[in-house]
Amino acid sequence: MAARGNWTETGVGAVVLAAAASFLIYALSAGAVGSHGGYEVKARFGQVGALASGADVRLAGVKIGTVSRIALDPKTFLAEVDLSLDPAIKIPADSTAKITSDGLLGGSHIAIAPGGATENLKAGSEIQNTQGAVDLFGLIGQVLRPQSTDTPTSGGPASGAAPAASAPAASY
């Protein structure tokens, strides 16, 4: 009777492995827009946040490409992001690329807002209008602990602050 239980467990294990392999093959084939002849465009951002290679590029919420490379331009100190886009989708040259988050703790992706130009982006061209990632935790921190924007221009009595007395540093 014990041998029969081992064969059952082996059979169930084989079915699970086959299902996992089929999901892996599907995910690799469905997610590889750039490997099927997509065209590359570039965008420069001041802040990429949690954006990573392989992230989605979406237009109207629909995936139209992936992020193929992220690198720092040492001259401008901007992040250069290469996007591999579906060749069937033609994007106007004056479109905007914005890094957005999938949720409060989710991953990041690039959302394309199409412009109205009659010319389309070509392979190797650059999206000029970009908006970098927003630091959500930094914004929450600013709301919880607002910084004073009043900066005194002089240290006199009109500024409302008494001059700080300097004491000699003690050495031990």
Q: What is the mean pLDDT of residues 48-71?
A: 92
Flag whether 146 is in a domain: no
Flag whether 98 is in a domain: yes
Q: What is the mean pLDDT of residues 51-74?
A: 92
Q: What is the 3-state secondary structure (H, E, C) of 22-69?
A: HHHHHHHHHHCCHHHCCEEEEEEECCCCCCCCCCEEEECCEEEEEEEE
What digits encode the pLDDT tens for the residues 31-57?
A: 554 445 689 999 999 989 888 999 999
Flag whether 99 is in a domain: yes
Flag whether 145 is in a domain: no
Question: How far, in Å, CA of 88 to CA of 91, rounded?
Answer: 10
Q: How confident is the model at residue 28 (pLDDT cuts 50, 70, 90)?
A: low
Q: Picking from 13-17, 21-25, 147-151, which range would have the lowest pLDDT averaged per residue?
A: 147-151
Flag whether 45 is in a domain: yes
Token duo for residue 85 = 């886009």
Split into its structural domains, the chain has a count of 1
Flag whether 149 is in a domain: no
Q: How many CB atoms lie within 10 A of CB 33?
A: 22
Flag whether 170 is in a domain: no
Flag whether 155 is in a domain: no
Q: State the residue range of the domain holding 79.
A: 8-134
pTM above the 0.75 mark? no
What digits encode the pLDDT tens for the residues 112-151?
A: 999 999 999 999 999 998 888 877 777 788 888 877 666 5
Please give the pLDDT value at position 6.
Answer: 82
